[in-house]
Amino acid sequence: MCTAVNYKTKDHYFGRNLDLELSYGETVTITPRNCPFTFRRAAPLKTHYALIGMALLVEQYPLYFDATNEKGLSMAGLNFPGNADYKPEAPGRDNITPFEFIPWILGQCASVAEARPLLDRLNLVKIDFSQQYPLSPLHWILSDRDTSITVESVAEGLKVYDNPVGVLTNNPTFDYHMTNLSNYMNLTREYPQSRFAPGFPLKPYSRGMGGMGLPGDLSSASRFVKAAFTKLNSLSGDSESESVSQFFHILGSVAQQRGCVVVENGEYEYTIYSSCVNTDRGVYYYKTYENSQITAVDLHRENLEGKVPVSYPLFHEQRFYRQN
């Protein structure tokens, strides 16, 4: 499964954990402005905003897991099995396949406000990329530095939710997650006060007891609560180093360790990579399960007028800094 988060200090940061049982050979991929985006049932975008993100590059077509464009608009697709429902083609609608959704939005929108009218016409149509790469059941978080929304294509149709916490995990649907947060309204980062009974004072025996009841399991509902609490209470300095470090600590609070979650085929789900992009500067940072060193790829150090995607393979081998 997965977790996506927004965070803001002086700059805005967006990123995610990708939790699966296997890697697809994803790379940090930059799509320059003049590399056309073609769509199965819509007109191509021959020129568009440049994108940087994590993608599986198949025959020069980037299948983005998450991405940010040069204007700072960001988007990530997260697993949504059993709820995602893609539709037949609909006349009079923009029929976009789910694997095209990220480039279609980020290629032409600079903000969430610009994306909303496109979502009003959107029909996420059920067309696989190929026999080898069928559609994944997904829902999406779309964010700029001030606003986040969640987009879900379900049996009832396309749902667009305001996302005031700037967090997304997986099932159930987003409205459930927001309602479920109310079950944890008594959590606090402050020194807790006894409410057990009038005239019966109880005292904390440890620091951190204001957060007792905060879930720690790896279910998507629990990760949503844990990530929201951690993100909304997080503090860091405004420097790039402090901000990026804090962002990875937020993602680390809901990371999955190999061996703790067994999936249906007997394999283990784990956090394959964690990403953090400074959306104001276009710098994409990542760590992998095997390599905890932060690696950076800068969108603006590439030729953004190019015509072919540029990809950087992930560093998976652990890197050590030796002091003696």
Whole-number Å distance between alpha carbons of 253 and 222: 11
Q: Are strands 122-124 and 94-96 parallel, antiparallel or unpaired?
A: parallel
**Active-site residue, selected from the candidate residues 2, 35, 109, 276:** 2
Sign of CA dihedral 26, 29, 31, 35: negative
> What is the separation, in whole angstroms, between the first and last Cα of the chain?
40
Catalytic, 2? Answer yes
Helix (H) or strand (E) holding 158: strand 157-162
| Chain centre to alpha carbon of residue 92 | 30
Burial pattern 260-290, b for ≥16 Cβ within 10 A else e, equals ebeeeeeeebbbbbbbbbbbeebbbbbbbbe
Following DSSP, what letter does each residue of 120-153 receive, concatenated? HTEEEB---S-SSSPPP-EEEEEE-SS-EEEEEE
Q: Which residues are tagged catalytic?
A: 2
